Chain A
Amino acid sequence: MLTLTLLEPPTVPLEAEVLSPDVLAPLSHAEVRALPVYHGKRRLRLDEFFEVEGDGSDHVTLHGDLGRVRWVGRKMTRGHITIHGPVGMHLGAHMRGGHIEVHGSAADWVGGEMAGGTIHVRGDAGGQVGSAYRGSVSGMSGGTILVEGAAGIEVGMRMRRGLIAVRGPVRDFAGLQMKGGTLVLMSGAELRAGAWMTRGTIISLKPLRLLPTFGLACDYAPAFLRLYARHLAGLGFPLPADGSYHRFTGDAAVPGKGEVLQWQPHPA
């Protein structure tokens, strides 16, 4: 068990991709303290910013206001990171395995281009959750991101596989240019959900103001969803047992074969 407590919030962003079980696990206490972090352009030691308790471990706990600490869990493949407090951008970017639990809010780019593992944010998340970085062809290609609070714009942008579930409201462009995977919106989303989507599924429990390039295909209760709902319920995101779903297809502007399933309380 390794516990790191931020001494005080850094004045400019601290780039700390060393805060990953893959890097930390094999190291001694002294080696952990000496790891390099970038404070702006300056390369400094980890222990200039964190109080370090314990030796390197697959179980890492972070405490403090980490809102300006970036790249926590970058490229991790195993282990657990537990964060008590807010955390900065790029949490779990490119991660391939393991588990990140945030008891607080996370900034933009949670799980950017992740391929596996789980990120659970108890508070709000910023924009671009599970998204492709600028210019990349695809975003997350596997894994699970769960957000208990609200999320920002472009959630699941260009995602190709995996699951994102958001309990709170989501802002514009949810599932932008989505290529696959599943995006569950428990409280709906603002404008232009699914814009440019070619494949994949957006499930919304609240009515969406869809683009005119989405067409209503049918109203039904998808068989697969009963199975999928069991998986989601296990993650703490239960879908309603009653009602049916409007199935919209789009985005015809691309043209795409994505589906938006919008829950209807009573069969139409």
Chain B
Amino acid sequence: MLRITGGTVYDPANGVHGEVRDVCIAGGKVVAAVEGGRTIDASGMVVFPGGVDVHTHVAGAALNFARGLIPEQHRKAVPVVHSKLRRAGLGGVTPTTFATGYLYAGMGWTTVNEAAVPVLSAKHTHEELRDTPIVDKTCCVLMANNELLLDLLEAGEYERARDVLAWLVWAAKAYGVKAVNPGGVAAWKWGKDAKRLSDPVEGYGKMTPGTIVAALARMVDDLHLPHPLHLHCNSLGNPGNVDVTLETMKVLEGNRAHLAHLQYHAYGGDDWGTIRSEAVAVADAFNANPNLTADAGAVLFGNTVTITADGPWQHLLFQLTGKKWANLDVENETGCGVVPYAYKPGSPANAVQWAVGLELLLLITDPWRIYLTTDHPNGAPFWRYPEIIRLLMDRDYRREQLNTIPGAVHSRLVLPELTREYTLSEIAVITSAGPARALGLPHKGHLGVGADADVAIFNVDKDPARMFAYPRYVIKGGEVVIEEGELRQVVEGRSFAVRPAYDEAVEAYLRPVFQQQYTMSFDNYPVGPDRVHGLEVVGPATQAGREPGEPGA
């Protein structure tokens, strides 16, 4: 039992915006009152619900491939030295599994969504997630270039495709459905791409990115999955891709979708020399579509590594950088590319990317629908989130930073004109309450009675970057894991998976198709429930089509 007294509580999901009140914890949950037990005096401190990362890449084959590709960055990374509490590891741009858990928790974040898992490497992903301590985990499984699904959609068999999708979600012990460059990756396996929504997808007669997006979003809603379709739109990163992004919003026809790393999809211009921000157009359209949520995918200057299932984009990025490139072909399911990258303030294109991430966070009016991410590690490693919080909360600092990019770029941005400053309450929304709601995790992201007791307590500091980098206390599931800024206890996290309803007969359909098309045996394919550590199965949501921005708990 634990009582946190005297802290200024920010719990926007329950309408609490900076009130001094107690938070009581028993049995790993927030309760109305406790008698006895430990008391933490949080007087003068700020109490937040634990952070929730709606889009990150922290485990699995692709991330491990990236780890292997960048030993030169590991040598510069901060080591995690072995102790009685901690396993040895490394920080850096792709922290090792255990270090990932320590670093997230050390920043007050307690739930993460691994955003891109092919079913084929789901076992690997879950094993790495098991070794990622403290934080609770969910993952999204890649579907938009899955050839079993595309073949069914091509044949017009929507119901069976939906059953296959539901079966695959459960086979991967996944929580949500991810779409990456729908159709584009499948086309790339034929040496083509499908950048625009009406482009034909090579190898198919009727499929276009647009039809795939629409079908997947409909399936996710029909299955009442708690998290909407997690969508990485077509034409990521390309100058002038704003049209594709706006078109995607239309194609969804009111179905729910979460637009991942929106920053990479909001560019105007014709080429790398003329790339400019189209954050205003994207934010306006987004504001008008309440079926959508998004995460920023913000960029910070510095070294990192880009990892995505978007194979064709990574090949282009490799051609632009000329350094290293790794490519994975995941049989019938997806592609994957890894390219180390450095965002430089002197590069006009990088400067636009840096600005667009912040512009979207500032222009999208409802903080309940836009969340703080860097698409870790693509825009910047997750442990740099506090730097973004400072940029959002302090317009003078923002102006200072604007001076580090080429002056000629300013006219291609709206950032210099934006004066909005985030409040602490809004920060609590974009880092915790909002993403928890978008993920459909009702026990996360708030401090109401019945919520998981995931709490971060910060010293008040004039510099938000310092304040949010070093919480004074972090409580996970009722256990104090960080105390006086130091790791005191390591607990294991849980894994949430969804079991959507599907016709069991779909297995009889899948087995022969699978045996013919895959290199592994059908029986070895699904992840057994016993292989997922701390598995908690969540049923589909009872209400479909809930407004993502709906206020109240």
* Chain A residues within 8 Å of B, Cβ to Cβ: 133-137
- How many chain B residues sit at the interface, stated as a range, is under 10
* Chain B residues within 8 Å of A, Cβ to Cβ: 69-75, 323
Knowing that A134-B71, A134-B72, A135-B69 touch, tell me 5 more A-B residue pairs with CB under 8 angstroms: A133-B75, A135-B72, A135-B73, A136-B71, A137-B72
User: From residue B10, how far is it (CB to closest CB) to chain A in Å?
Assistant: 42
Cβ-Cβ contact count across A and B, 8 Å cutoff? 15
- A134: which B residues are within 8 A, CB to CB? 71-72
* B70 & A135 in contact (Cβ 8 Å cutoff): yes
- A133: which B residues are within 8 A, CB to CB? 71-72, 75
Nearest CB in chain B to that of A136: its residue: B72
Q: Name, among A135, A136, A137, the residue most crowded by chain B CB atoms within 10 Å (CB to CB).
A: A135
The answer for the CA separation of A137 and B341 in the assembled complex, in Å, is 12
Question: What would 15 A/B residue contacts be, using CB atoms closer than 8 Å?
Answer: A133-B71, A133-B72, A133-B75, A134-B71, A134-B72, A135-B69, A135-B70, A135-B71, A135-B72, A135-B73, A135-B74, A136-B71, A136-B72, A137-B72, A137-B323
- B72: which A residues are within 8 A, CB to CB? 133-137
The answer for the CA separation of A126 and B73 in the assembled complex, in Å, is 25
Nearest CB in chain B to that of A138: its residue: B72
- B69: which A residues are within 8 A, CB to CB? 135
User: From residue B473, how far is it (CB to closest CB) to chain A in Å?
Assistant: 32
- A135: which B residues are within 8 A, CB to CB? 69-74
- B75: which A residues are within 8 A, CB to CB? 133
The answer for the CA separation of A115 and B532 in the assembled complex, in Å, is 49
User: From residue B74, how far is it (CB to closest CB) to chain A in Å?
Assistant: 8
- A137: which B residues are within 8 A, CB to CB? 72, 323
Nearest CB in chain A to that of B73: its residue: A135
User: From residue B209, how far is it (CB to closest CB) to chain A in Å?
Assistant: 35
The answer for the CA separation of A137 and B322 in the assembled complex, in Å, is 11
- B70: which A residues are within 8 A, CB to CB? 135
User: From residue B326, how far is it (CB to closest CB) to chain A in Å?
Assistant: 12
The answer for the CA separation of A163 and B96 in the assembled complex, in Å, is 37
Nearest CB in chain B to that of A132: its residue: B72
The answer for the CA separation of A136 and B323 in the assembled complex, in Å, is 10
The answer for the CA separation of A135 and B69 in the assembled complex, in Å, is 7
The answer for the CA separation of A133 and B73 in the assembled complex, in Å, is 11
- B73: which A residues are within 8 A, CB to CB? 135
The answer for the CA separation of A266 and B66 in the assembled complex, in Å, is 52
The answer for the CA separation of A135 and B72 in the assembled complex, in Å, is 5
The answer for the CA separation of A137 and B74 in the assembled complex, in Å, is 14
Q: Name, among B70, B73, B74, B75, the residue most crowded by chain A CB atoms within 10 Å (CB to CB).
A: B75
Nearest CB in chain A to that of B75: its residue: A133
User: From residue A244, how far is it (CB to closest CB) to chain B in Å?
Assistant: 35
User: From residue B160, how far is it (CB to closest CB) to chain A in Å?
Assistant: 46
User: From residue A201, how far is it (CB to closest CB) to chain B in Å?
Assistant: 22
User: From residue A215, how far is it (CB to closest CB) to chain B in Å?
Assistant: 23
User: From residue A143, how far is it (CB to closest CB) to chain B in Å?
Assistant: 20
User: From residue B432, how far is it (CB to closest CB) to chain A in Å?
Assistant: 36
User: From residue A255, how far is it (CB to closest CB) to chain B in Å?
Assistant: 12
- B323: which A residues are within 8 A, CB to CB? 137
Nearest CB in chain A to that of B323: its residue: A137
- A136: which B residues are within 8 A, CB to CB? 71-72
The answer for the CA separation of A133 and B75 in the assembled complex, in Å, is 10
